[in-house]
Every structure is written in structure tokens, then in C-alpha cells.
Structure 1
């Protein structure tokens, strides 16, 4: 009997005639000419009749051919999951640094930054802290130096940590691993105990950014610390939810969350301080010179911020004079030397903004009176394109508010939750995944009810720009450009040019001790509003607080005043000493 399913049959030399062990004549045509189908059934090549006889399989390959007669359904064998390998905390930070370096290289940083400088800094740090690349790493030294009771307590706390009993650390508990062994890093417990000890200088997440900043500074890339933190904030450089980038064989669990979980971006001052500390720990030599051809020099940086703040190009001449008078353009002043610690690591971006503010104070005083008076005089002149502080403020203020609101909206649209949730204990593992499923389900249902797609504008999909504003007449610009306007801030007296601002005001320039806190909040109410607004503008551009910009303004004023007082003392002749005549006896 002919069956239509025989169209997929194939013949083989091993399945011909009597060699197959089946020599019965065909019941349809009495021929003995058999073939074997893919299903293992014999069929007649003459009339294509199919028999119920199955071929007895002897070779290993045909053992896997599906039998048409199914006796039972076997469950498919599950593929073995990739087992988690044993790893140390320093390896985890190495993965973090690699991800950050790859992101910076993809943004245009030279490859030397990753392959040579950052790698050498990392190995130097591990050697100097005796965590790796040494014959006696710090973990072995600690175990040998501790007493028996201390070692026993550490072992007991580690055992209780991995087996769910109450541990001494208390915050994160672990009841074992789903893979049958330890999950997470091997030294997370001892590492978290060493975090509070300053002598160990352990790596932390903010220190990864500090290490990247030191490497960028070494290769003299045009990325300031404010730029680096902005790249992190806009998700161009991985930092938040960094464990999403970890490889599958490095399982983060339990106490690892205390080390690698970050809920916020560190402040400018925190990363700057960590960079100084790391440079001293690594005992780095003096950094390459920050000369005028380097984009970290105050002159090119001030050009950048003048363009950003829509100030006239003529202001650059006065900015150069302030830099020269304060001796802030010298290579010795700008180049960082961790060994000598003098000079200290300069905040290049904040310093450039502070120089512009000091220059504005020199020209327009910014005391809520003189700048508006000069604006009225500039407006009354017949000459066109004269810089007017009042007009500049009216152009900048709405653009400033729009940029701030845009940044707040983009931050609100960010997905702060990670794709891979941190499991702090096996007891809570099912609860964590259940919450994640409920959240995803609610989001999906809400999208269906509102009939809308989620507006998740991710920063990583857009190109990074170091500028917040775009000035000009083009469509989409933030306002008209004032770069070509000329300054009207001098007058001639007896043939000599003098500034219209005859008096320069400043707050107390005395240096406070290191333990003293910042006094900006105390004096902010008494400062002129125009000056505070200018601080607010540059603090927004740099992503720092107004207090930090004001502190750097005071540093520039100290350098300027000390140089001025020094020149005055040199010009003033010292009084001649009177010699007393000996008394006549």
C-alpha cells in the first residue's frame, strides 16, 4: 500500500537487499528489494510499500534516529550551566576598570591610556598595597600576623556568613550557594573588614574613577574631572549598576553588594581627594608638564568656558592678564608632583571658571550697581555690538533655566534599577525575583492601558558633547551669540587707560585651617546677587557646588593679591637705618 509520507525517504548502500538482514518478499509485488527510510522502516523500492518491520540499528550514529514507535517520552537533558569560578575582589575591580577604559577609548581617548598608563597604574597600586604581583600578598601576611583567637573568630564569622547563621558583620547574611559552593568573591568578608582601615588603602568604586582620572591626566587628554563625572552621569562611562557588565562566571552575591553596589555618583571633591591619595599610595613620579599646548592649561580652558557662557572674545585678553599677574600659567604651578606634594593637584576646570569670574569682577565689579550702570552707558552709545551685562543676563537666564529643567527631566527618565539584581542572601532570592516580575508586569500593563511606549531616553544612544549651550542664529540655538561684541570697560585719564571699576571687592582671604568647614553658606546671603548668579551658572556647567567655585575664586584672589603686595613691597624703598653716634664721655 502506497503512503504519501514516503517522499522524504532516502536510500543507502547499507540498506540494500539481503545485507540488511531482511529478505522477506514484498507482500505487494513479491520483490526482494528493500530500502531503509530515515525513520528506520523497510520499504520496497519497486512498489514503495512500507512494512511494519524496523531495522535493527547497530552503529552509534543511527542510535539517535527517532523511532516511529514511541514507548515513552524522555525529558530532554538540561545543558549544564556554566559554573561560577573562584575570584578575588581585586579581580572584580579590574573588570570595572577595563569596562571604564573601553568606554573612554570608544569616546576618542588614545589607546595608550588603556594599554599602558592605566594598566601600569593598576599593577603599581596592587604591588604597593601588596594585594597582587608580590610574593607575600596582604591576605597571607594578615593570617600569619594575627593571633590564634583573631584568626578563629574570622573563620567562624566567615563560616556563619556562608551558612546563614548570624554573623558579626550583621548587615548581609548568606546561607550558602545555589551552585553547591561559595558564590561571589572569596575574600569579600576580609575585604569588607579592611575597608575601614586606612593603612590597607583598599580599592573602592569612587577610587576607580580617581584612577581613570589620573591616567587621563598622565596622557594629557582634554577630559577634565568635571567631564569625567558628567560622562558617568550620562551613562557613557559605566559606574552605576556596574555588576551588569560582569562576566557570567563571576557571580556577585552576598557581601559583594557592599563593595560593588553604588546608588549615587561621587562628588567632585571626593574623587579629587581619592586621586591625590592614590597617587601618593602608588608613589608616582612627577606628571608630564601642563604647558600652554596642553588643553588642561587655564588659557585654552578659559576659551572653552567663555564660549560656553556666551561672553565676548575680548574678555580673553583680560583673562590672560589675570593669569599672568597671578603666576597661574607657570608649568611648575600646574604640574602635579605626588612625591613633593607641592604643588597640589590643581582643579583645572574650576580654576579656569574662577579666573573668568575674577576678571568679570575686575571689569564690572558685580556689586549689583556698577555692572548695571555700565550696561546703561553701553546701551546709550550709538556704536553697535557693545557688550551689555544686562542684555547678556537676559539672554543667558532663560537658556540656563531650560538647560537645568532638561537635565532634571533626563535624570528622571533614567532607569536606576539594574538588569541583574543583587542577591544578598539565598533566603531572599525568590522574593527579589518575584518583586522584579511584579514590577515588569505592572509596567507592561500600564503601557497597554495608556496605549503608549515607554519614553526611556538613554544617554548612551546620543553623542556626547562637552558643551551645554549652542549660541547663534541657527535654528535650535539657545540664543544670539555675543562673542563678537566689544568691551567698553576702560576710560582714559591723562593719556593712560584705566578700568571703569576703580575698587575691587572681595571677601576675607585668610586661609582657614583644614578642620574648618566651608563658610559659603554663612556668607551667601550677604554676597551680591549677580555674583551668586554667576557662581550658580558655572557650578551648573561644571557639575559642582557653588561653594567649590567660590572657594577657587578665593584661591585665585589670594594668588593675585599676594603677587600685587609682593610687587608693591619691592618697589617701596626700605627706610635707612640711623646709626647712633657714640656718646662723649
Structure 2
């Protein structure tokens, strides 16, 4: 069986002092060697044996993994909103929808204070006020380490005692990684054997997070569609929430799966995937999100659907007399 040179792929070798060297590039083979075997018979002799594999291991460099660059959740949601607008235009929405939705999006970010304002914030007020945030919000990474890695678990630091509580109260933590909450709930929570306290704490946290998620300041996937629908209320007032929901579940508007829309340099890490998931989406959810956003952005006077157009459409679709 020929052994090709790993450098030039040549299979011809020269033997020098028991080692084999490539005749083309002079690279020493790590697979072929010469061993001497002596046999005690009436006539002493030596025979040379080529050993195919000497059991030696060569050090290989691991391929460098592209970690991408730092990015924010609002940057990712903006890419998704643009794709959703394109999908709605393909379904008959006006071309003006792009400009209208961008204006609404800029208005929303300006109200949050994270962009399009004189003094931008790293995180919106809802995060600092409720002390519930997402890792990508709280730690967007650096160019040398763009991954928003999880902090060291608090259980590893618990031996330091409760005297850290006053110091930790002034810090901002991840959504389920807040040691202050764990201390305040019960110090037994860290080493609880039956898990009862842990379950109760998890339920309390889930209730808190559910309340925060309903805030118009908490950007998520449901609000991407809601912002698009507010734009439709200006450009295509006869497209109803039920139409948008149908577009979503027919995969005509990106929503159920959107991570493929992100560019390659926006690498997902930690729990980034959860940013692009939605546990529930229907007309009731969409209408509620739209109502909260309109109130938050102070858009009180909005165009209403034209009933003279909507009613005949329903009559025709439902085959009513």
C-alpha cells in the first residue's frame, strides 16, 4: 500500500539511516521506518522490515472557528422586519410599506432610547427597571470575543456568603442568572435537595418574565410582525390581522423560522436562538401587540379598514348569499 507524502502527494521515498524522505520535497515520513531484527541460528543474519505504521502521532492544528462579530438584538430584528416587509409586498402590499415601516421602527427605537436619539442607551429602561434581560442585550461581546458567553454559575461563588448581596444589587444580570434573586428567595435554593424551593423560584421568575414580555419596550418576534402591521394600517388598511397570520403560517412572511436570514458574521451563541422563537401567535396576540405599540409610540389616530371593501370580500370568500 503506497503512502503518499502529506506535502506534495508523492509516493516515492529514499531511505536514509532508517528513515524515509520524500524524493520530491525531502519531507520525512511519519509512517515508514526501518527496524532491525536479529535471529540466533547457525548463521547470524539481519533482516530489514518496513513497518507501515509506527504508531506515531503528528500534531495538527484545529481549524479556526469563525466567531463572527458583536451584534445587538435590534440589529437582528431589523433584518427580520425588512424580510417580513418584502414578504408582505409579494402578497400585494404597497411598495411604500418599506419606508413607512422604517419610520415606525425608527420611532420605536427612539422611544426606547437605544437608537435615533441624542443620548443612546446600551439597554432599554425596561431591563434596568425590572432587572430582567437577555444575554445578547447585556453582553453583546467584543470583536476579540463576540460570543455572549454565560457568566460563572452563582453556585460556584456561593461559598462567599450573603455579604455580597449589597454589592450585587447594583449590577445587571442575565435573565435567569441573577444571584440577587436567588439569595433573596432563599439561600437554601442553591443546595436544595428536594428541589421544592427551586421550583417555586422558577415559577415566580416565569411570572415576572411573562409580565415583562408584555411590555411594549420588550422587543421580540411578535412585535416584529406588529410593527409591520402598523405599517399596513397606513398603506394597505384592508389587509386584516387574520390575513397576516395566514401569511405567516403559509410561510409567505418570515416568522416561524428566521435565523437563516441573518448574515454569516452574526453568529448565534448562548441563548440567542430563543430571541427568534414565539410560543404563541394568532390574531388575538397580534391585535394586543399592535394596541400596546400604538399606545407606547403615541399613535392614537390610525386609518381604519374600509368596510365597503372588506364586507364584499368576506361574502365572496365565505360563499354567502
Q: Which has the higher contact order (CA 8 A, sep 6+)?
A: 2
State how far apart, in whole Å, the 2-side matches of 1:297 and 1:102 are: 24
Please, what TM-score do these two structures have when normalized by structure 1?
0.32
State how far apart, in whole Å, the 2-side matches of 1:228 and 1:199 are: 22
Superposed CA deviations along residues 111-145 of structure 1, whole A, max 9, x for unmatched, are 2211x111110110111122322204263878999
Per the alignment, residue 275 of structure 1 pairs with 290
State how far apart, in whole Å, the 2-side matches of 1:224 and 1:237 are: 14
TM-aligned CA distance change 1:241 to 1:258, over 3 Å:
same
Trace 1:500-539 onto structure 2 (pairs within 5 A).
none
State how far apart, in whole Å, the 2-side matches of 1:67 and 1:243 are: 49
SS in 2 for 1:139: coil
State how far apart, in whole Å, the 1-side matches of 2:77 and 2:68 are: 17
State how far apart, in whole Å, the 2-side matches of 1:141 and 1:239 are: 26
TM-aligned CA distance change 1:141 to 1:149, over 3 Å:
farther
State how far apart, in whole Å, the 2-side matches of 1:274 and 1:145 are: 21
Which residue among 99, 105, 115 is the counterpart of 2:83? 99
Contact 1:157 1:168 (C-alpha < 8 Å) held by counterparts: no
Structure 1 residue 247: Cα displacement: 2.4
Structure 1 residue 309: Cα displacement: 2.1
Structure 1 residue 155: Cα displacement: 4.3
Per the alignment, residue 210 of structure 1 pairs with 226
1:130 aligns with 2:113: yes
Per the alignment, residue 120 of structure 1 pairs with 103
Superposed CA deviations along residues 529-568 of structure 1, whole A, max 9, x for unmatched, are xxxxxxxxxxxxxxxxxxxxxxxxxxxxxxxxxxxxxxxx
1:310 aligns with 2:309: no
SS in 2 for 1:196: helix
Matched pairs, number? 217
Structure 1 residue 224: Cα displacement: 1.5
Please, what TM-score do these two structures have when normalized by structure 2?
0.54
Which residue among 71, 83, 105 is the counterpart of 2:28? 71
State how far apart, in whole Å, the 2-side matches of 1:140 and 1:206 are: 18
Structure number with larger C-alpha Rg: 1
Per the alignment, residue 246 of structure 1 pairs with 262
TM-aligned CA distance change 1:124 to 1:149, over 3 Å:
farther
TM-aligned CA distance change 1:79 to 1:223, over 3 Å:
farther
Trace 1:390-405 onto structure 2 (pairs within 5 A).
none
Structure 1 residue 208: Cα displacement: 1.5
TM-aligned CA distance change 1:70 to 1:261, over 3 Å:
same
Trace 1:330-369 onto structure 2 (pairs within 5 A).
none
Structure 1 residue 99: Cα displacement: 2.0
Contact 2:97 2:235 (C-alpha < 8 Å) held by counterparts: yes
Structure 1 residue 240: Cα displacement: 1.2
TM-aligned CA distance change 1:195 to 1:68, over 3 Å:
farther
Superposed CA deviations along residues 274-297 of structure 1, whole A, max 9, x for unmatched, are 111101111226334x5xxxxx41
Per the alignment, residue 108 of structure 1 pairs with 92
Per the alignment, residue 276 of structure 2 pairs with 260
State how far apart, in whole Å, the 1-side matches of 2:127 and 2:167 are: 7
TM-aligned CA distance change 1:220 to 1:92, over 3 Å:
same
Contact 1:232 1:238 (C-alpha < 8 Å) held by counterparts: yes
SS in 1 for 2:123: helix
State how far apart, in whole Å, the 2-side matches of 1:199 and 1:69 are: 69
Per the alignment, residue 284 of structure 1 pairs with 299
Per the alignment, residue 230 of structure 1 pairs with 246
Structure 1: runs of 5 or more not aligned: 1-38, 40-51, 53-65, 170-191, 291-295, 313-585
Contact 2:68 2:265 (C-alpha < 8 Å) held by counterparts: yes
Per the alignment, residue 150 of structure 2 pairs with none
TM-aligned CA distance change 1:251 to 1:193, over 3 Å:
farther
Superposed CA deviations along residues 213-256 of structure 1, whole A, max 9, x for unmatched, are 11011112542211100010111111113223322222333343
TM-aligned CA distance change 1:93 to 1:195, over 3 Å:
farther
Contact 1:218 1:287 (C-alpha < 8 Å) held by counterparts: yes
TM-aligned CA distance change 1:142 to 1:227, over 3 Å:
closer
TM-aligned CA distance change 1:195 to 1:151, over 3 Å:
farther
SS in 1 for 2:254: coil
Structure 1 residue 156: Cα displacement: 7.8
